Amino acid sequence: MFEAKNITVQIGARKILDDVSLELKSGEVIALIGANGAGKSTLLKTFCGDVKPKSGEILLENRPLQSWHYHELARKRAVLSQYSEMNFPFMAKEVALLGRNPHIRGNESKKDLEIVNEALELVEANHLANQNYPTLSGGEKQRVQLARVLAQIWEKPNDSARYLFLDEPTSSLDLSHQHLTLQTARKFAENETAVLVVLHDLNLAAQYADKINLICCAWELNPPRLK
């Protein structure tokens, strides 16, 4: 289980998160919704260790997150960021193969290549495999990046769960691929994965998430009165 316990994140005088607690359990899809600037992505980044809280703690399987070696962590937790810039002339399958780096010793194996092919096929991006990644559309890039993070946690660690973090994974996708992405998240959850996904579409959250967590800005809790 991944846990955020009484997390407070502050930048300057502004509290982005204030005493937030959340548990991520294997087999569940947890959706974070809320207005822009409410702290959804900040909470996800705090779970990932990219943002250090002012107070509170993040525990992964009853151990402080900072006690995990990055290589050990990368084998069980994958993160699809909101923005994934990459301008190198890699082919799409090479971008997806980056997800296998935590598992590769030396050169990639036949099994690694098979996993990447299966991940690309799962997100309907296998026809893009040999295309130059920077030339792809925004939605195509997003699907290739999803294949990358799925390839990273394709195999379940021994005696442990997997964790998948998705920050607005449907933002550049057409309607069909929005549903495919969240259906894929559900499939992984049903195979001993905890999924945390940031969404803006309440209908999608209601359709695919087991639990929905609403994060509110201070002004939403105490809205100013118009004169």
Bridge partner list, 64: 59
In a domain, 214, yes or no: yes
Q: What is the pLDDT of residues 95-152, one digit of tens each?
A: 999 999 999 988 899 999 999 999 999 999 999 999 999 999 999 999 999 999 999 9
Q: What is the mean pLDDT of residues 8-18?
A: 89
In a domain, 66, yes or no: yes
The residues, ordered by sequence, that sit 6+ positions from 120 with a Cβ below 8 Å of its Cβ are 92, 93, 96, 126, 128, 129, 144, 147
Question: Does residue 87 surpass a pLDDT of 90?
Answer: no
**How many domains in the chain?**
1
How many other β-carbons are positioned within 10 Å of the β-carbon of residue 29? 24
Q: Are strands 2-11 and 14-24 parallel, antiparallel or unpaired?
A: antiparallel
Contact 33, 199 (CB under 8 A): yes
Residue 222 lies in domain:
1-75+194-227
In a domain, 84, yes or no: no
DSSP class of 168: S
Q: Could you tell me which of 205, 194, 167 has the C-alpha nearest to residue 61?
A: 194
In a domain, 220, yes or no: yes
In a domain, 89, yes or no: no
Q: Tokens 């195999």 appear where?
A: 155
CATH code (residue 21) = 3.40.50.300
